[in-house]
Amino acid sequence: MTVVRFGLILVLLLGCKMYATAQDDEAAQRRERMQRGLGVETLTDSTVVHDPVMIREGDTYYMFTTGWGVSVFSSSDRKTWKREKPVFEEAPAWAMEAVPDFRGHIWAPDIAYYRGQYYVYYSVSSFGKNTSAIGVATTPTLDPDSPDFGWTDHGAVIRSIPGVSNWNAIDANFILDEVGHPYLSFGSFWGGLMLARLQEDGLAIEGKPEDFTLMATRGTRENPIEAPFVFKHDNWYYLFASWDFCCKGSESTYKVVVGRSESLSGTFVDAEGRPMNQGGGTLVAAGGERYAGVGHNAVVHFDGTDYLVFHAYDLERDGRPYLRILPIRWEDGWPVVAKTF
């Protein structure tokens, strides 16, 4: 009887060891799949964010995301993030008037350094409607401990109106053209992603809506495309965009695509030569075993390396959106990160 019990215990112990080994092997394989050809990921992905953009001032990284008053985080290493005060303690009065059901939850900011100041472009909207506007605020520094710190709001840059505008004034991205003149790309669903020329100070649109350039569209009735981000690499402008659907947790189908052009005004084409304003787009990143939809990206350059910054809905953590930062490898003139993970 003692021998039988001992044998049973031995079998159980061996079974537990084999199970643990299998779990370790599976985790190692997952890490290998995520990091294959990419170098080591720079992030522990413990920060819940939506629509992240990033910039560095001095030795400190600052991240701006969707949130009440525009959420702001700081970090010394891009791994551990400290929440700072939002850009706005109270919702801008003009935004409350422009979007009647807006209550202060501001979407999809972009951050840029231009003419000696930091500019944050931000979106106010009603979900599922193009009753929307893009505003802008500036500050001389992002350091909240500096005596020069302080955001000045300049109000609306552009508005979209249902029944009038065939585009949606959200998801702004600031970019300079070949001669250093500022432009704003923006758009979500409706007619697609647009490019508008800004006045020299970056605070207002120059020209009229009929002067806008269509950068990209899916060309379908629902037209699920949004979040343009333009990044210049070598002699090319790269237009990153998010396809399909965000904001559905584990059911999200977001993915990142890209096209390129030698001119900011386009036409942007994908790796197969298909124009993005006719539905083209080369896949950069999509959901996989661990994450559902991934997207609303930014691209940043730090210390000789370009990074794709985005949020991804984690299937192992209730489908919540977590920050991801992946190094970009350029192959034959195209950005490469893990396409699924």
What CATH number corresponds to the domain at position 220?
2.115.10.20
Identify the pLDDT of residue 7.
45
155-180 b/e (C-beta count within 10 Å ≥ 16 → b) = ebbbbbeeeebebbbbbbbbbbbeee
* Integer Cα distance of 125 and 50 in angstroms: 16
Structure confidence at residue 33 as a pLDDT band (50, 70, 90): very low
Identify the pLDDT of residue 339.
67
* Integer Cα distance of 182 and 198 in angstroms: 6
Name the nearest CA neighbour of 170 among 108, 239, 78: 108
The reply to whether 20 falls in a domain is: no
Per the residue annotation, which of 45, 110, 171, 226 is the catalytic one?
226
* Integer Cα distance of 185 and 50 in angstroms: 19
Which residue bears the tokens 């953009």?
Answer: 53
Per the residue annotation, which of 51, 110, 171, 314 is the catalytic one?
51
The reply to whether 1 falls in a domain is: no
Contact residues for 220 (Cβ-Cβ < 8 A; gap 6+) = none
- Calculate mean pLDDT across residues 66-73: 97
21-35 b/e (C-beta count within 10 Å ≥ 16 → b) = eeeeeeeeeeeeebe
The reply to whether 65 falls in a domain is: yes
Q: Is the pLDDT confidence value at 223 over 70?
A: yes
Identify the pLDDT of residue 62.
98
Q: Are 125 and 133 in contact (CB under 8 A)?
A: yes
Q: Is the pLDDT confidence value at 115 over 60?
A: yes
Structure confidence at residue 17 as a pLDDT band (50, 70, 90): very low
The reply to whether 66 falls in a domain is: yes
Identify the pLDDT of residue 2.
44
The reply to whether 317 falls in a domain is: yes
67-86 b/e (C-beta count within 10 Å ≥ 16 → b) = bebbbbbbbeebeebeebeb
The pTM of the full predicted model, rounded to 2 decimals, is 0.86
For 174-188, the three-class secondary structure string (H helix, E strand, C coil) is: EEECCCCCEEEEECE
Is residue 51 annotated as a catalytic residue, yes or no?
Answer: yes
Identify the pLDDT of residue 45.
62
Task: State which residues form the domain around 253.
Answer: 40-336
Q: Choose the weakest-confidence range: 41-45, 121-125, 320-324.
A: 41-45
- Calculate mean pLDDT across residues 238-254: 96
Q: Choose the weakest-confidence range: 14-18, 73-77, 175-179.
A: 14-18
Q: Is the pLDDT confidence value at 319 over 50?
A: yes
Percentage of the chain exceeding pLDDT 70: 86
Identify the pLDDT of residue 46.
78
The reply to whether 133 falls in a domain is: yes
Question: Which range has highest mean pLDDT (19-23, 32-36, 92-96, 108-112)?
Answer: 108-112
- When the pLDDT of each residue in the chain is averaged and rounded to a whole number, the result is 88
| Count: domains in the chain | 1
Identify the pLDDT of residue 340.
64
